[in-house]
């Protein structure tokens, strides 16, 4: 499976998963999030439901992308909310950051 076009995840056996990526800022963030999600799954049991490989519409694909981005941020930061116009609102150490996922503006 390839996550966000950056990180390749392979299940080598029932208890072994390997990750492969080229190191850059975004790929490192995605790989950190994947590791955090895998560790949470192994501790808390399965809460992730399988999704069909191909989305039926462009709107479905965009909704899935939004959910993945939210999940990645939520795995890195405790306080993540979706604000106005779909902007992510992240609070870290009392500081609030708004991220516009459409243009990357912070």
**Whether the predicted pLDDT of 99 surpasses 80:** yes
- The number of domains in the chain is 1
Tell me which residue range forms the domain holding 58.
2-78
pLDDT in tens, 37-78: 877 766 655 555 666 555 467 777 777 778 888 888 888 777
Token couple for 38: 């895998």
The confidence band for 20, taking pLDDT boundaries of 50, 70 and 90, is very high
Q: Is residue 96 part of a domain?
A: no
Q: pTM for the whole thing? A: 0.47
Residue partners of 40: CB distance under 8 A and separation at least 6:
75
Judged by average pLDDT, the poorest of 17-26, 49-58, 75-84, 94-103 is 49-58
Is the separation of the CB atoms in 21 and 31 below 8 Å? yes
Q: Is residue 85 part of a domain?
A: no
Task: Report the alpha-carbon distance of residue 36 to residue 106 in Å, rounded.
Answer: 24
């Amino acid at each position: 499976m390839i996550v966000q076009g950056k990180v390749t995840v392979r299940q080598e056996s029932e208890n072994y998963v390997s990750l492969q990526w080229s190191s850059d800022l975004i790929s490192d963030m995605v790989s950190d999030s994947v590791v955090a999600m895998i560790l949470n799954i192994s501790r808390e049991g399965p809460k992730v439901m399988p999704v069909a490989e191909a989305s039926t519409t462009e709107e479905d694909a965009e909704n899935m992308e939004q959910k993945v981005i939210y999940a990645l941020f939520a795995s890195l930061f405790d306080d993540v909310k979706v604000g106005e116009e779909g902007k992510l609102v992240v609070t870290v150490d009392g500081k609030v950051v708004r991220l516009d996922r459409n243009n990357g503006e912070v």
